[in-house]
Amino acid sequence: MEYEVADEAVDFMFQGPSQTLKVEFQGGEPLLNFSLVQHITEACEERAAAEGKRVEFVVCTNLSEFTPSIGAYCRSHNIAISTSLDGPPDLHNAHRCNSHALVVAKIDLAREWVGADRVSALMTPTSLSLGRVRDIIDEYVARGFSSIFLRPLNPYGYATLAQGLSMSVDEWLDCYREGLDYILWLNRRGIRFREEFAAILLRRILTNVPAGFVDLQSPSGAGTAVLVYFGDSVYLSDESRMLAAMGDDRFRLAVLGRETFAEAMRSPTFVELLLSTMTEGVPMCHECAFQPYCGADPVGHYREQKDVVGHKAFSEFCKRHMGVFVQLFELLETPASKILTGWI
Amino acid sequence: MQGRLFRVSPALGGGTIVAKVTPYPDLPQRVRRRYILYSETAGTVPLGYSAYVSGEGASQPWRRISGTSLSEGDVVRIAGTMGEVLYRRGSDHNTLLVTERCNCSCEMCVQPPRTSDDRTLLADLHRAITLFAKDTTVLGISGGEPTLLRGELVRLLRWLRSYLPATRLHLLSNARLFRYRRFAADVGKATDNMLTVGVPLNSDVPRLHDEIAGSQHAFDETVRGVLNLHRHGIAVEIRVVLTRSIVARIEGIAGFIRRNLPFACHVAFMGMETVGNAAANVDRLWVDPADFVDRLESAVGILRVAGIPTSIYNLQLCLLPRSLWRVARRSISDWKVEYLPVCLGCAQRHACCGFFGTDGMRASRAIAQITE
C-alpha cells in the first residue's frame, strides 16, 4: 500500500461514527514494511487525539522479522501482536515450512517487549490437524498461552488450492467438542485455560456486553463492524478481499478517493445487503432458538450458494454455529458451567 | 504459617529446578516439565515432571521435603538439597529477592549485604515469573539494593509488567542510583505507573542519615533520587524505621517529608525487626515503643495535616493510643507472624499485626491484653 493511499484509508475510517477504532495490520508480512505500519499508527493516533476517539492496533505477523526495537515501538504505541501457531512442531512445520522453532522463540521475545497478554496466536486447522486437537492444546499450554481459539478453516487462498487440506463441518465439530472437553479437564487440573470461541459466545449468551465479533452481528457485521482496506479498495471483510483476489469483487464497498464513507454506507447494494442479513427476518433464522446469539455471514453464504442469505439447510455457517450452541447449552447444565462462566 | 526455605533429600540428577507445584499426576506430557509433582504420599512415578516431592521418605525419584509444605500454584526453586518458595499462591506478601549486594550498610538492616550470583538469580526469577498466577495483586522486589542491577533491573521490571499486567509492583530501594535521570526514566517507562518505590529515610539531617546508612552522601543521593522518581511519574513511599536514633528526630522527619516530599504516596513508620544487623546492634538501636508513642502520634498528625497517607507497621495495638489504630496495619507477613501467650484472650488480636516470629523480637513493657 502506498503512503498516500494509506492516508486516504485513515481518513476514510475516521469519517465513520465509531468512537473506538481497531486497526489491524495484515499482509503479506507487515513487519517487512514496518515503516508504513508506523506511519499509519501515528496518523491514526494524531487523528484520534484530535477527534477524541480511541484507537487500538494489532499486527498480524509470523514474527520472523520481529526485533526488540519493533517490540519497543509496539509497547509504546500499544500495538498488540497476533501470530500463528498451528500446534506441536511436526504439525506447525508441515503447515508453515519448518518455522516452529523460530516462532516460539519470537513469541517469547514479543511477550517480553509487548506484554504476554498482548501476544496472541491463532491456529489454522487442516485435515492434518484431525485427531490432533489435544496435541494442539497441549502446545498452547506448554508455550504459556492462557487461551486458544479453536477456529474453522477459511476456504480461501492456498487453503482451497491445496485440495485435501480441508476439514468438513462434522469433522470440525467433533474436533471442537473433543478440544472443549479437554480444556475443561485441564481446568479441573488447576490449569487456567480458555477456549475463545466459547468465551465469545458465552459473553453473547449470558451478558449484555456486545460480543464485538463480526460473525455474530445482525445485520451483517461485515461492512458494519469491520472494513478491510486493500490497495485502493475498501472491502466488507477479510473474506471479501480474498474473494476479490480470486476474481470476484462483488463485496468491494468503495474505492478510496472516489467515494466518501457516507456515500459508501448509503450505496444501494450495501443497504440491500444489510436489509437481507437481519437474522430476525431471515428464513429459518427467524424461528431458531439461537437466533438472538447468532449472526449473519453474507460473504460466506455467497461463496457457498451464490446468495448472501443462503438456504440454512445447506449452510456450513449454520451447521457449525448450531453444533457449538447445542454443545454449550448442554454444558451450561452441568458442573462445567462454573468453569465456562469463569471465561466471561 | 510456613517459611520460604526448605530442604529436600538428594536427587539423582543435578541442576537447578524452577517450577510450579501441582498435586495432579496426570497432567499432559508436554506441560509436565513446568511442574513439580507434590504429594503427601510418594506413590507411582508418572514420567516427565521436573521433580517429585513428598512429605514422606521414599525411593527415588521421590524426594522428601522438610521445613515447609507446598500448595498447588506455589512456584519453587530447588538447587541440590536446598529449596526456596519463590511465590506463594494467594499471598499478598510475595517478594522477589533480586540481589544481595548493597551500596549502604544500614545499622538496622534485616538482610545485611553479601556478594551474590545475580546472573543465576535473575535467570531463575525470569523463568519463575512466567509461572506466577496472573491475578496476583501485588509483588515486592527487594534486595540487597535492586538498583545495583541497573539495566538488568529495567529488564526484570519490563518482564514483570509483560507477564503480570494486572499486578502492582513494589520496589524496596534506597533510591541513590535514581539520581541518574536516565535510569529513573527507563524504570518509569518500563513500569507504566504500576510501580511504587519504597525508600527508607533515616533522618532530616544529612549527617545523621548518612551515619545510620553507613555511607557518605547517602542522604543527598537518596533525596535527589526520590525527586527524580517523582519527576518520571513513579510513586514513592517513604519508610521510617523506628530505631532509637531515628525516633529521636521523628517529628523533624515528618516535617521534612511534608515540606520537601509532599508528593509521597505513603509514609510508613516501621517497628524494628531484630534480625541481621538489627539483631547485632539491638541494645543500641532498640527503644521501647512505650517511650515514643506520643511523638509518633504527633509525627502522624503532621502528615495527616499535609494530606499524606500514613501507616504504622509492626507496632502492636496495645502500645498505641486509639487515635492511631486507624493507621496501624497488619504488616507482618503471613508466614512470619506470631502472637505472645498474653495475646491469647485479646479482643483485638484479629486486627493486630502481632510479632515477628523469626527473631527474638523485643516486646514492649506496655504489651497488655485489650478487653474490648
Instruction: For residue range B292-346, list pLDDT tens digits in order.
Output: 999 999 999 999 999 999 999 999 999 999 999 999 999 887 778 899 999 999 9
Q: What is the nearest CA distance from B52 to chain A, expressed in angstroms?
A: 17
Contacts 24+ apart (CB under 8 A), B90-95: B90/B133, B91/B333, B91/B334, B91/B335, B92/B137, B92/B138, B93/B140, B93/B333, B93/B334, B93/B335, B94/B132, B94/B136, B94/B138, B94/B139, B94/B140, B95/B139, B95/B140, B95/B141, B95/B142
Look up the CATH number of the domain holding residue A260.
3.20.20.70
Q: Is the per-residue pLDDT at A94 higher than 70? A: yes
Identify from B18, B29, B31 which residue to disrupt to test chain A contact, counting A C-beta atoms within 10 A and taking the largest count: B31
CB B350, CB B267: distance < 8 Å: no
Shortest distance between the Cα of B144 and any Cα of chain A, in A, equals 25
Distance from CA of B163 to the nearest CA of A (A): 5
Is the minimum CB–CB distance between B281 and chain A shorter than 8 Å? no
- Whether A218 and A83 map to the same domain: the answer is no
Confidence of residue B1 (pLDDT cuts 50, 70, 90): very low
Q: Can you give the pLDDT at residue B369?
A: 93
**ipTM here:** 0.81
From the list B30, B34, B161, which residue is nearest A115 (CB)? B161
Distance from CA of A137 to the nearest CA of B (A): 10
Which residues of B fall within a CB distance of 8 Å from A190? 22-24, 72-73
Q: Is the pLDDT of residue B14 over 80?
A: no
Q: Does B134 touch chain A (CB under 8 A)?
A: yes
Using an 8 Å CB-CB cutoff, list chain B residues near A116: 130, 162-163, 165
Q: Which of B24, B31, B161 sits opposite A138 (nearest CB)?
A: B31
Terminal alpha carbon distance of chain B: 27
Smallest CA-to-CA distance from B303 within B254, B356, B263, B244 is with: B254
Which of A121, A141, A165 is the last residue before a domain boundary? Answer: A121
Q: What is the pLDDT of residues A165-204, one digit of tens each?
A: 778 889 999 999 999 999 999 999 999 999 999 999 999 9
Q: Would you tell me which residues 96-135 of chain A have a C-beta closer than 8 angstroms to some C-beta of chain B?
A: 111-117, 134-135
Say how many domains are in chain A: 2
Task: Note whether A54 and A131 are same-domain residues.
Answer: no
Same domain, A214 and A194: yes
Flag if B130 and A144 touch (Cβ within 8 Å).
Answer: yes
What DSSP designation does B95 have? E
Flag if B30 and A116 touch (Cβ within 8 Å).
Answer: no
Cβ count near B298 (within 10 Å): 12
Domain range for residue A287? 123-344
Q: Give pLDDT, residue B220.
A: 98
B349 and chain A in contact, CB less than 8 A: no
Does the beta-carbon distance from A141 to B28 stay under 8 Å? yes
Please give the grid coordinates belonging to residue A344. 466471561
Cα within 13 Å of Cα(B41), Cβ side = 2
Choosing from A81, A102, A121, the residue where a domain stops is A121
On whether both A22 and A159 belong to a single domain, the answer is no
My answer on whether omega of the bond before B255 falls inside 30° of 0, hence cis, is: no
Among A156-160, A179-183, B99-103, the least confident range: A156-160
* pLDDT bucket at A162, cuts 50 / 70 / 90: low
* Shared domain check, A198 and A188: yes
At CA A209, angle to CA A205 and CA A215, rounded to 5? 65
Residues A264 and A134 in one domain: yes
Q: Where are the alpha helices (DSSP H) in chain B?
A: 118-129, 151-163, 181-191, 206-213, 218-231, 244-247, 250-260, 277-280, 282-285, 293-305
| Burial status of residue A44 (CB atoms within 10 A of its CB: 0-12, 13-18, 19 or more) | buried
Q: How far apart are CA B75 and CA B83, in angstroms?
A: 11
Give A245-258 pLDDT, tens digit per residue. Answer: 889 989 999 999 99
User: Can you tell me the mean pLDDT for B25-36?
Assistant: 95
Task: Please tell me what DSSP assigns to residue B157.
Answer: H
Nine cell digits for residue B162: 509483560
pLDDT band for position A16 (50/70/90)?
very high
Residues A333 and A225 in one domain: yes
Task: Please name the member of B27, B30, B159 whose beta carbon is closest to the beta carbon of A189.
Answer: B27
Question: Is B228 in the A-facing interface, judged by CB distances under 8 Å?
Answer: no
Which residues on chain A are in Cβ contact (under 8 Å) with B163? Answer: 111, 116
Regarding whether A172 and A316 lie in a shared domain, the answer is yes
Q: Which domains does chain B have, with CATH numbers?
A: 5-86 (no CATH), 95-356 (3.20.20.70)
Same domain, A117 and A127: no
Report the residue from A116, A146, A186 with minimal CB separation from B162: A116
Give me the residues of A, 65-84, that contact B with CB < 8 A: 76
Q: Does B298 touch chain A (CB under 8 A)?
A: no
Could you report the per-residue pLDDT of A271-280, keeping only the tens digit for each?
Answer: 999 999 999 9
Question: A315 and A188, same structural domain?
Answer: yes
For chains A and B, CB pairs below 8 A equal 49
For residues A193 and A85, membership in a common domain is answered with no
Instruction: Look up residue A61 and give its DSSP letter.
Output: -
Q: Are A25 and A145 in a shared domain?
A: no
CB contact under 8 A, A116 and B165: yes
Q: What is the least distance, in Å, from the CA of B48 to any CA of chain A?
A: 13
**Residues from chain A contacting residue B155 (CB–CB below 8 Å):** 112
Choose one of A77, A95, A121: the last residue of a domain: A121
Task: Kindly indicate the confidence band of residue A9, based on its pLDDT and cuts at 50, 70 and 90.
Answer: very high
pLDDT at B316: 95
